[in-house]
A and B are shown apart, each in its own frame.
Chain A
Amino acid sequence: MFKLLGAFCIVAGCSYLGLRIASIYRKRTELFRFLQNGLTLLETEINYTSTPLPLALERVGQKMHKDCQPLFIRAATVLQEKKGVTAAEAWAAGVRALGGEVPLTKEETELLYVFGHGLGGSAKEEQVKNIALTRKQLSLVEKVAEEEQVKNQKLWQYLGFSLGAVIVLILI
């Protein structure tokens, strides 16, 4: 009886782990899609309504999916609360908060940091260009993430269960 229960626990645990890893691939693809949407919203705030950055980031954050929210909300909070902080520093804090939610590669983090350096410090035209460029790069990143998702999502879903089953077989 205990053996059966143990076996069930092992298989369930490993399957869950597999599903979690598989869901990260899906989340990453979604994140890069949401980020592009977020940048489009930010572009509207900057280009059409000339909203100052702290408020613009907050408004975008409120409209975003919860996976993507930490980036905008954290950056807005840092800008509102800390006097003398630069937009790049606040954005970097946002990127770190985002990294805590969804794993990002070094290149992806770097891409977001670079975007932050151009944030706020120039005329609308330049801001729009910076946003367009980053959006383009994010769409490429999204494609790569999507390919990885197709390749790995199913694999991890099955792998978790199979690994659990193998462990049980070995133990029995």
Chain B
Amino acid sequence: MAKVFINKEKNNECLSGMETSPLTISSLTWFQALSPQLQELVSEGLQPFVGEIEEIRLRVKRPVLFRVGTKEMTVTAQKKFTLQLEQGYVITKEDLEKTVQILSQNSLYAWEDEFKNGYLTIPGGHRIGFVGRGVLEQGYLKTLKDLSGINYRIGRQILGCADDVLPYLVKREQIDHTLIISPPQCGKTTLLRDLVRQISTGIPELLFPGVNVGLVDERSEIAGMYQGEPQFQIGLRTDVLDACPKAQGMMMLIRSMSPGVIATDEIGKNEDVEALYHALQAGVKVITTVHGSSFEEIKARPNLQALINWRFFEKIIVLSRRKGVGTLEMILDGKNLEKLR
């Protein structure tokens, strides 16, 4: 039985209800981070899609693209939205330069690390990715120049999207080690964020009192930290280690904040697996995600294979986009690999 959580609740764009419904496009932080010319082009036409827009892509000398659900559309120079992508407004180098100026607040020096990593987070928790020409120093990437593409990934919080999953993960006052398997764009970060929020705050329906959660947010996606403040609701008892390598961050959190649960996104490296062993020894529960379309695919990966064979994860959740973002494909018991749902 598949569950789709896209329409479950109104999208809460930002913490503390700053942007309440009905959403007007000009009040949205990602809209304000577009260049004035683009703002003018899209301000009217984009309004009907404002709750569903997932990505905006600006690529030099190619039309601007908007991804709304599974559809891609563009806007013409006459401000009309169309599915005929070749008719779209063509992005110029100046558009990109102006956009970078706005995104960086005219302060490239303040975002050196972000440019090196290829993305930055803006207020509202949205992520902006970049590509361009790499500048190397002693063989290592120092920064990017001549930017040729910018991708706005609109972050969304769907409060309550973990409601269907939680009864499988919570038993008495304990949380299971959980692995969320999902292809990109299927809502695994959104699900993880809501799991963290509920586990941290407590779940009265399941008589779960709430525990300290340590969140290692290597790519600033889960909490959407902006200048030290979480842009999403992440719960009362959540400590965030922002932009910190996962393995190092997990060890640090165990030592410094004594969490009951550690949550992190997209594990896969050797050292991540090692950090999971340490968490286990410290008696800390782990909730994490991994890119993949099925359990079989994950089982075949060398690093994760060891974890699966060792029966580290007690519950395994598989997401897809079959019936929309966040379709819950199945929940497996990690011990005997029985399908629970």
User: Residue of B at shortest CB range from A53?
Assistant: B107
A50 touches B109 (CB 8 A): yes
Closest Cβ of chain B: how far from A128's Cβ, in Å?
Answer: 9
B102 touches A83 (CB 8 A): yes
A79 touches B109 (CB 8 A): no
A123 touches B143 (CB 8 A): yes
Closest Cβ of chain A: how far from B115's Cβ, in Å?
Answer: 9
User: Residue of A at shortest CB range from B142?
Assistant: A123
User: Roughly how many angstroms separate A25 CA and B107 CA in the complex, as a whole number?
Assistant: 35
Residues 178 to 217 of chain B near chain A (Cβ within 8 Å): none
User: Roughly how many angstroms separate A56 CA and B111 CA in the complex, as a whole number?
Assistant: 14
Residues 114 to 144 of chain B near chain A (Cβ within 8 Å): 143
Range of interface residues on A (Cβ < 8 Å): 20 to 34
User: Roughly how many angstroms separate A113 CA and B319 CA in the complex, as a whole number?
Assistant: 56
Partner of A53, one of B32, B39, B106, B143: B106
User: Residue of A at shortest CB range from B99?
Assistant: A84
B101 is an interface residue with CB less than 8 A from chain A: yes
User: Could you count the A-B residue pairs with CB atoms below 8 Å apart for me: how many are there?
Assistant: 56
Closest Cβ of chain B: how far from A83's Cβ, in Å?
Answer: 5
User: Residue of A at shortest CB range from B33?
Assistant: A83
B302 is an interface residue with CB less than 8 A from chain A: no
Residues 29 to 65 of chain A near chain B (Cβ within 8 Å): 46, 50-54, 56
B106 touches A86 (CB 8 A): yes
Residues 99 to 152 of chain A near chain B (Cβ within 8 Å): 119-124, 126-127
User: Roughly how many angstroms separate A15 CA and B114 CA in the complex, as a whole number?
Assistant: 60
Partner of A121, one of B36, B39, B98, B108: B108
B35 touches A84 (CB 8 A): yes
B36 touches A52 (CB 8 A): no
User: Roughly how many angstroms separate A79 CA and B110 CA in the complex, as a whole number?
Assistant: 15
Residues of B within 8 A of A (CB): 32, 35-36, 39, 98, 101-102, 104-112, 143
A-B pairs, top 6 by smallest CB distance, nearest first, are A87-B106, A52-B105, A120-B106, A52-B107, A53-B107, A50-B110
Q: List 16 A-B contacts (CB under 8 A).
A: A50-B111, A50-B112, A52-B105, A52-B106, A53-B110, A54-B105, A79-B106, A120-B104, A120-B107, A120-B108, A120-B109, A121-B108, A122-B108, A122-B109, A124-B109, A124-B112
